[in-house]
Structure 1
Amino acid sequence: MTSREDEALARAAVTALTDQLALTPKPGLPDPSHRDHNTLRWSAKALTPGLAAMSAAARRTGEPTPGLRAELGAIGRCTEHSVGLAGGGHRGALWTLGLLVAAAAIEPREVPATAKRIAAHPDRGAPRRPSRGSSMSAKYGAAGARGEARAGFPHIRRAWAVLADGTPRPQSRLNALLTIMSTLQDTELLYTAGPTGLRHVQAGARRVLEAGGTGTAAGAKALTALDTDLHNRGWSPRGSAGLMAGALFLDALPATAQPAGTRTPVRGTAARRATGSIA
């Protein structure tokens, strides 16, 4: 049975996802001008019961055990089915937000670290057939969604720092998304565009940031060019979108519940240096 706290965490996570959907222009990703935008917003709401159930399971267990990991996996598969009936999508976001919501229910001031501890356990009930992401991880050595979680969501933490750099919305949110795109080994891009395409997208995101970000004329021009390029090529950095929703979820937590010692506001070139390079 879910509590008000569980339902509040679930609603915050879904709001983070719909806020991510509302960002525009998002290079290669659906935004409000996309024909499927309303369907994606509707199906995002179908995540709410499952996320609340994940929070309740974590709150009841109280620690990141193998049993909790198995229960979250089972809830996640049921939620995927419900989302499919509502229009589909959001699989990567469900993985990310489910772990973060569960972690917030256990230890709200250590969310990424607690999510890392949950993700460290295998999901023994998961289907044995390989997914796109796991296939690309095996082929190219990319971390993938599981590797990102098991590392404590470094890209979410970097994006979250950018959200604190003092830049007004929506520019700060777009800059945070581009920060993720600039280094993430996105397995969806590897599947559709290969390593060369992935590097092309990463370089395009870095060009926007190096031009001063989306709040400058040069950065906005580079963003528009990247958006047009990716849509024309049919390349979609979906992994970045799911992680961006995670960053927005962390940003929405009350200040008293935000992870301690993981956020240092960054500005200008410091924000770009914070992205590092793992690709």
Structure 2
Amino acid sequence: MVDITDKPAWLADRVSEALVAELDLTPKPGLIDRRGAGVHHDMDYATMQASIRALHPGFLAIAEAGALPGDAVSLRARLGLLGREAEAAMLLATGGMNTHRGAIWCLGLLTAAAAARPAGEWQAERLAADAARIAAIDDPGLDPARVSNGKQAITRYGAAGARQIAVEGFVPVIKHALPVLQRTRTATGCEQTARLDALAALMAVLDDTCVLHRAGPAGLAAMQTGARRVLAAGGTATPAGRAALADLDHTLTGYRASPGGAADLLAATVFIDRLAEHASATATGDNAHANAIA
């Protein structure tokens, strides 16, 4: 068990680790990874690295805000401000590229939720529920006229956007990606395989607004169908699963569609998994200490 003497700093470090884990995971269909830029022409691996470095202070500030006593409405307002500041730092570091806006949202909520609880209470469902309660509160500082690609996709296609996913308790993460991640890890002992399968689990169920914006419903359906084929073939530990993953990469390249929403939620999955692991170790350590005293 790791002793956390500075919880906000520890959480900010775990966020950075989760973002790096998502970036480094290779091969990811349509996404930037160690092979190259995927379908992107305006950003690459180095751009993503610069963004992750620039975001660390923002996540530290978010964790510090979450750790302070106060009411949920005030916290939501503070998180909105800090999120916009983090986004500004990201845009400055990347030359105006939106590399991690979705990650700022979902990981910011989860970081604040974790900061407000003792480490022994970092169970996945509990963190997701706490984050959902924060997400349900309107941000008083948000410009209602602000337009984003995701918002346009939500309006045009009626998709569940990032806020709805958060308010509903991150179902794609809690019910799909996280169980697959943990099950595949146990079965194979390979973290890369487990994370690739978790990404496929997300892509199989997520109405990814990044894909919808670029490729419409046809592209989204192709992504979901291709991801289901990966899982049905036994996942990326099998030759058939790897072949299905390569087919999915080819499909998304043809659509010029990058599943950025799934990538953001994969980072959230890795983050929640790490915190839940720490909570379990904390509980085990506490039980062992109690037994020793008895």
TM range (shorter): 0.7 to 0.9
Give the corresponding residue for 1:160: 178
- 1:102 pairs with 2:87: no
Give the corresponding residue for 1:262: none
Give the corresponding residue for 2:196: 174
Greater percentage in helix: 2
2:27, 2:35 within 8 Å by CA — same for their partners in 1? no
Distance 1:102 1:177 in 2: 24
Distance 1:131 1:152 in 2: 23
Change (3 A) 1:248 1:70: same
In structure 1, the gaps of 5 or more residues are 259-279
Shift of 1:229: 2.4
- Mean alpha-carbon deviation: is it higher for 165-174 or for 74-83? 165-174
Give the corresponding residue for 2:22: 20
Deviations 1:178-203 (A, max 9, x none): 00000101111111111111011100
2:222, 2:251 within 8 Å by CA — same for their partners in 1? no
- 1:1-279 equivalences under 5 Å are 4-35=6-37, 36-61=44-69, 65-87=72-94, 88=97, 89-107=99-117, 108-109=122-123, 110-128=126-144, 129-157=146-174, 158-165=176-183, 166=186, 167=188, 168-253=190-275, 255-257=277-279
Deviations 1:111-133 (A, max 9, x none): 10100000010111112223221
Shift of 1:256: 4.7
Distance 1:174 1:62 in 2: 39
Deviations 1:176-230 (A, max 9, x none): 0000000101111111111111011100100111111000010111111211221
Shift of 1:146: 0.5
Change (3 A) 1:254 1:233: closer
2:219, 2:252 within 8 Å by CA — same for their partners in 1? no
Distance 2:152 2:249 in 1: 27
Shift of 1:135: 2.2
Secondary structure of 1:39's aligned partner: helix
Shift of 1:233: 2.6
Distance 1:244 1:256 in 2: 18
- Mean alpha-carbon deviation: is it higher for 11-20 or for 230-239? 230-239
Shift of 1:234: 1.1
Instruction: Give the TM-score normalised by the residue count of structure 1.
Output: 0.87
- Mean alpha-carbon deviation: is it higher for 84-93 or for 110-119? 84-93
Change (3 A) 1:111 1:62: farther
Instruction: Give the TM-score normalised by the residue count of structure 2.
Output: 0.83
Distance 1:33 1:8 in 2: 30
Shift of 1:39: 1.9
Shift of 1:67: 1.3
Distance 2:151 2:255 in 1: 24
In structure 2, the gaps of 5 or more residues are 38-43, 281-294
Return the index of the structure with the highest Cα Rg: 2
RMSD: 1.5
State the 4+ residue runs in structure 1 displaced beyond 4 angstroms.
Answer: none
Distance 2:268 2:20 in 1: 11
- Mean alpha-carbon deviation: is it higher for 179-188 or for 104-113? 104-113
- Mean alpha-carbon deviation: is it higher for 37-46 or for 116-125? 37-46
Secondary structure of 2:191's aligned partner: coil
Change (3 A) 1:18 1:180: same
Distance 1:239 1:14 in 2: 17
